[in-house]
Structure 1
Amino acid sequence: MTGPLEGLRVLVPRPASGSADAEAALRVAGAEPVVVPLVRTEAVDDPTVLDAALADLRAGRYAWLAVTSAAAVGALVGRALESAEALGDVVARTKVAAVGPATARALATVGVTADLVGTSGARALADAWPTPDVAGARVLFTRGDLAGPELVDGLRAGGWAVDDVVAYRTVPAGPAPDDVVAAWRDGSISAALLTSPSTVRALAARLGPPPSGTLLACIGPTTADAARDADLPVAVVAPERTMTALVGALADAVAAAHGDAPPAPAAPDAADLDHKETR
């Protein structure tokens, strides 16, 4: 049995360390993933604020820790190791929320179980957040430098005192390989998975607009808006913010392009922070 994307090459413009879910979902669908990191993450120049927040976290001064990406997990682990501690020990007295399943899995790999896992973006996670037990209860929100304010705004509106701390930076990666640039321009790469505004902007800058017939699948409306702002044609938006849903939406778009099925519906309005959404 062949998959719905059999024989297609699909660009995954993500760091190799964060592309495993996309590669697995594409291979199950029969596609060949073409992984090209167009952005990368790096430590903040001055970790003083982050280290102070982790000290408060360790002391139990936060009711919740909010984690918005696997990259944030890595940054937290790195700073905890600077003090010769495991992240699980640092958060032992605090509840932990993950913006989505991929972030929850990243936490689980370092021994941290998420008490609250979002499914449809930052705004929905804020809506699902419990009310504070006492006035002034604190949340530590750790994020990339380009992440949006949706979760922070929602939590503050719900009565929480939120410390908004940048845990890592998103910067451009090196140039795409010449063979990938050529394949993009001649249409032999059939589609791309877009999972954050930062990857959209990097794709537009490094590769340029796709040729006619190349399909761009976006993980959510924030990413789709960034693509449209860059004059990139959006073929489909995933109905859920998971790689399985994104690849499924792409398969529907491919079928629709061949007259076999309608495309997947657009996702609800939500910030696409999971899967290393860094804007």
Structure 2
Amino acid sequence: MNGLTGRRVLITRSADRARPLASLLRNRGATPLVLPLIDFEMTPDQAPLDAALNGLRAGDFNWLVISSITTVRVLLEKAAQRGVVLTDLVPPGTKVATIGSSSRQVLESVGLTVALAPADVQSAEGLLAVWDTSAERVFLPQADIAAPGLREGLTAKGAKVTSVVAYRTVDYPARAELRLTADLPSGVVMSDADASPILSVEETRAALDSENLDAMVAASPSAARRIAATLLPLGSCRLIAIGRPTAAEATRLGLTVAATAKEPTPDGIVAALESVFANEGNTQ
């Protein structure tokens, strides 16, 4: 028996994005539950993104920098609208950089070669730490709520950055007419015959009040904000942050973070959960 056996763990992601972590938790004997808190929409004004993508395809950029998996979904959707595949939008002379192993896996699964990604600190800060080129033309599509640090850091290193809002982060659910519809490859979003139960905010509140949740995974800074706005108090439920930016935002909001994943991956999150429960067992 391991420290996750019998534990009930809530994942604050949509069901499709929660599947890889849910599958791993189930294999470790835990019961994964899902609470979608945020969703994503295409921006109402597509002109800036379309113009930048035209420039990307024409070879106007030395680098394409991807800072989230959702950005990949946007690019897949835009490619499909043009009747091409994503690799058709990125010419051979344009290098691709990203912020960590999960986004690298997604990009490589759709046929793009990742030229640069941090191995240790998997975040915008980690990418800036290994960025050693200057005077480069960089295309940086991001969320509407993306922190300015990556754009400003690249600019400070001499890059000419074209930063475009690629999608909007909204409360779940997104509006049907603007919701992202492109799916990630099946090898990235793993199929799972036993779908995890999806809870509402009200059902989650009841589970927290009855102390029927052992842990909750904050899957992004925006999810941490929604947790603070809708689910407090958490009581005995331990909050696990997917990475340092999420942990920092949760702490800023007054939430107690029991552990932070060293890597923003299912394996990293499970390791953080196991450390929390192992430490509790050692103190009893």
Q: Does 1:251 align with 2:250?
A: no
1:104 CA drift (Å): 1.6
**Counterpart in 1 of 2:88?**
89
Q: Does 1:147 align with 2:170?
A: no
**Counterpart in 2 of 1:162?**
161
Match of 2:208 among 184, 190, 209: 184
1:23-76 C-alpha deviation (Å, 9 max, x unpaired): 133223321111111100111111111111110000111000001111100011
User: How far apart, CA to CA, are the structure 1 residues paired with 2:211 and 2:116?
Assistant: 42
Q: Does 1:19 align with 2:43?
A: no
User: How far apart, CA to CA, are the structure 1 residues paired with 2:154 and 2:254?
Assistant: 33
**Quick check: 1:3–1:28 contact (8 Å CA) kept in 2?**
no
**Counterpart in 2 of 1:32?**
31
**Quick check: 2:99–2:126 contact (8 Å CA) kept in 1?**
no
Large movers: runs of 4+ above 4 Å: none
User: How far apart, CA to CA, are the structure 2 residues paired with 1:224 and 1:16?
Assistant: 22
**Counterpart in 2 of 1:116?**
116
| 1:127 partner letter | A
Q: Does 1:225 align with 2:226?
A: no
User: How far apart, CA to CA, are the structure 2 residues paired with 1:28 and 1:251?
Assistant: 13
| 2:230 partner letter | R
Q: Does 1:76 align with 2:88?
A: no
**Counterpart in 1 of 2:46?**
47
Structure 2 segments unaligned to the other structure (5+ residues): 174-198
**Counterpart in 2 of 1:241?**
264
Structure 1 segments unaligned to the other structure (5+ residues): 262-279
**Quick check: 2:238–2:258 contact (8 Å CA) kept in 1?**
yes
1:196-243 C-alpha deviation (Å, 9 max, x unpaired): 1100111222222211x2111112232122212222211112223322
1:80 CA drift (Å): 1.7
1:7 alignment partner, SS class: coil
**Quick check: 2:102–2:264 contact (8 Å CA) kept in 1?**
no
1:103-155 C-alpha deviation (Å, 9 max, x unpaired): 122223322222222342111111212313xx4x2000111111112221221
**Counterpart in 1 of 2:176?**
none
**Counterpart in 2 of 1:106?**
106
Number of aligned positions between the proteins: 256
User: How far apart, CA to CA, are the structure 2 residues paired with 1:67 and 1:11?
Assistant: 27
2:114 alignment partner, SS class: coil
Match of 1:125 among 124, 127, 150: 127
1:10 alignment partner, SS class: strand
**Quick check: 2:201–2:231 contact (8 Å CA) kept in 1?**
no
Report the TM-score when normalising by structure 2. 0.84
User: How far apart, CA to CA, are the structure 2 residues paired with 1:12 and 1:31?
Assistant: 12
1:259 alignment partner, SS class: helix
User: How far apart, CA to CA, are the structure 2 residues paired with 1:203 and 1:228?
Assistant: 12
Report the TM-score when normalising by structure 1. 0.86
User: How far apart, CA to CA, are the structure 2 residues paired with 1:20 and 1:163?
Assistant: 33
1:61-106 C-alpha deviation (Å, 9 max, x unpaired): 1000001111100011111222111111111231111211111222
